[in-house]
A and B are shown apart, each in its own frame.
Chain A
Amino acid sequence: MATALARKRLRLAGLLSPISVVLGVFFLAPLSILLVYAFLEPGLYGGVEWNFYHHNFGRILGWADGEYEVFDPVYLAIFARSFRLALTTVVITLLLCYPAAMWVSSLPDRLKSFFLFLITLPFFASLVVRLFAWILILKPTGWINETLLALGAIAQPFDMLYTEGAVVLGMVYVFVPFMFLPLYANLEKLDRSLLEASRDLGAGGLRTFLRVTLPLSVPGMVGGSIIVFIPSLGNFIVPDLLGGAKVLMIGNLVEQQFLQARNWPFGSALAWMVMAAVLIFLLVYVSVVNRADALQER
């Protein structure tokens, strides 16, 4: 018994050590460095002074008014905007992908693989190139505005680029496959005979959807939402290209602190705030979903 257990443990260690080493060295260690830096004083010309210093968080949350560091509500406003835009992205991708995933999951197998291929097709082209294409479409002299002007529908070009709308559009565009795939995987394994059972018991199409399909696809919706929400919240490239200087998100803020302001401690503090916020948000989200699930069980 003891040797069997020991062998089992050894096997587990063998299987898990490669990923543990990679994540430990290249993820946990840097993260710890960031955590230490977040509580250090920024050096005058970049770098850090090895003094305990809590005003990095004070600048964000409201207690810093030292010589160099003052509380500025703009950081909280950017946090709030990032949450708002990320949630909007989640809701829109969910609404776009759910009907599509439902439809594809009902197709014969050969067509399924074809549409799955189509969904993953955007990954074959560079993200930056695809976002630049959106700039060409949305800019004041882009073809939407040119067309509307030529038709006489508008007198002045619309400001579409460098708006929150453009950022959400870009993120929806980028993250649609991330929402689609978990939803599809969930709906595809939904037992069709359950839908037939519901119909057989007198329920119409809408009621069958609301009482059978929808509750049983909650895991897919939760999975897709999390996978879209996290990278949306910390996204840097979409707001950089389509939001410009006007629509900053947390990712841009962190980038600015590290590369432009050369204030590594403040950048670290911001990065840790994002992580903490995501973690708290997810814990609340998952517990609400579980609560709803438990409520259904009564």
Chain B
Amino acid sequence: MISIRNASKRFPDPEGGVVHALRSVSLDVGAREFITLLGPSGCGKTTLLRSISGFEDLDEGTIAIDGREMTHIPPNKRPVNTVFQNYALFPHLTVGDNIGYGLDVTGCARDERNRRVGEAMELVGLAGFDRRKPHQLSGGQQQRVALARAIVNRPSVLLLDEPLSALDRKLRESMQLELKNLQHELGIAFVFVTHDQQEALTMSDRIVVMDHGSVQQAGPPTEVYDRPASVFVARFVGEGNLFEGELEARGDTLALRTAGGTGIVLSAAGETRRAGPATVLIRPEDLEMADDDSAAGGFASLAVEVTQTIFVGTDFQLVAALADGTPIKATIRDPSRTLARQVQPGAHIRLRYRLDAPRVLAPAASA
């Protein structure tokens, strides 16, 4: 559907230097795929989106959409439509005329145009609002107008530039589901830009994590979360405890020795890196309280001193420190509230994890 090859883009920065917004990015988007470009601000995700819509002209590389070469085609001649971050609704036009704008431009017949505008409004739940002006609508409604205005043209690909960032949390969460359902219904590709990892995990078929203008990792949400390709991805997607040290192989298991002397044991299965400097990731939810010192089969445990327990609704966030002072976070499901009663700051406990839970990553220094 979209095929991007070696896309590069440089901008001059205010101090006279050069910013590499895109460094030889290659990416394919499938016909019915919901793909998310995820990364911190300045990582190049918006530049990549704007290269697809045609608002940025690539310095190098090519973009093809629907098998047609689009690299230097202006935005008005591309079969894509965009939902802009601030919605960019025309303030002087009614909701109906906003949505019908693209159809008016292509000279769509009046009946057909009105029918399709009506359908689009129905689809986004705005039926009956066609005479209103954008400023008479709430943020969520404006968002829906922007969505309807884009999809009414039946683009091959819908581009969404952080469209939910201006909404409050409740509305954002319901819009996430709606967008996902809408994408199914329409059967077209969505390219969604966000800096919110939770949003990316919730909605995407595939997440493309970007940093400094290049793709750090691209894969399904579970893969990006469970098997991050780098320390950067591990830090950016989800929460994680990262331990740096020297790795050594011990038969079926690997052991990481940190500078502070802590040893972290993990299963060697599936790990390619087996020795030398490395970083090990343990997700907070992979840690649980161990009843006694003896590590059961398939588990390893760490002695920690509790610093703080925070109740966050479903779970407790346990903040603790290893013997060498390294902080460690654990998310613990505690329906019986034992934790709340028994574990106070200063308590010495053991946290255990399954041997196959930790992940070995390249050392952080290279990121």
User: Chain A: residues with CB nearer than 8 A to chain B?
Assistant: 191, 193-194, 196-204, 207, 211-212, 215-216, 296-298
Contact = CB atoms under 8 A, between A and B. Distances in A.
Contacts of B131: 298
Given A202-B76, A203-B76, A297-B94, A197 B84 contact: yes
A193 B94 contact: no
Nearest to A108: B14
Given A197-B90, A201-B101, A201-B149, A297 B81 contact: no
B61 interface: no
B82 A200 contact: yes
Contact of B105 (A191, A207, A215): A207
A198 B54 CA distance: 13
B92 interface: yes
The CB with the most chain A CB atoms within 10 A, among B53, B54, B101, is that of B101
A197 B106 CA distance: 15
Nearest to A296: B92
B263 interface: no
Given A196-B84, A201-B81, A203-B76, A297 B90 contact: no
B216 interface: no
The CB with the most chain A CB atoms within 10 A, among B76, B77, B82, B94, is that of B76
B91 interface: yes
Given A199-B76, A204-B76, A215-B92, A193 B86 contact: yes
B136 to A, nearest CB: 11
Contacts, number: 66
B186 interface: no
21 contacts: A191-B88, A193-B84, A193-B86, A196-B55, A196-B84, A197-B90, A199-B76, A200-B53, A200-B55, A200-B76, A200-B80, A200-B81, A200-B82, A200-B84, A200-B150, A201-B76, A201-B153, A203-B105, A212-B90, A215-B92, A297-B133
A194 B90 contact: yes
The CB with the most chain B CB atoms within 10 A, among A193, A198, A199, A200, is that of A200
Given A194-B90, A196-B55, 9 more contacts: A191-B88, A196-B82, A196-B84, A196-B88, A199-B55, A200-B55, A200-B75, A200-B76, A201-B153
Contacts of B150: 200-201
Contacts of A197: 82, 84, 88-90, 149
A216 B105 CA distance: 18
Nearest to A208: B76
Contacts of A203: 76, 101, 105
Nearest to B131: A298
Contacts of A211: 101
B130 to A, nearest CB: 10
B102 interface: yes
Given A196-B84, A200-B76, A216 B92 contact: yes
Given A207-B105, A216-B92, A298-B94, A199 B75 contact: yes
A197 B80 CA distance: 12
B125 interface: no
B325 interface: no
B52 to A, nearest CB: 11
A201 B105 contact: yes
Contacts of A215: 92
B99 to A, nearest CB: 10
A296 B153 CA distance: 23
Given A196-B75, A297-B133, A202 B102 contact: yes
B346 interface: no
Contacts of A193: 84-86, 88
B75 to A, nearest CB: 5
B311 to A, nearest CB: 42
Nearest to A215: B92
Contacts of B149: 197, 201
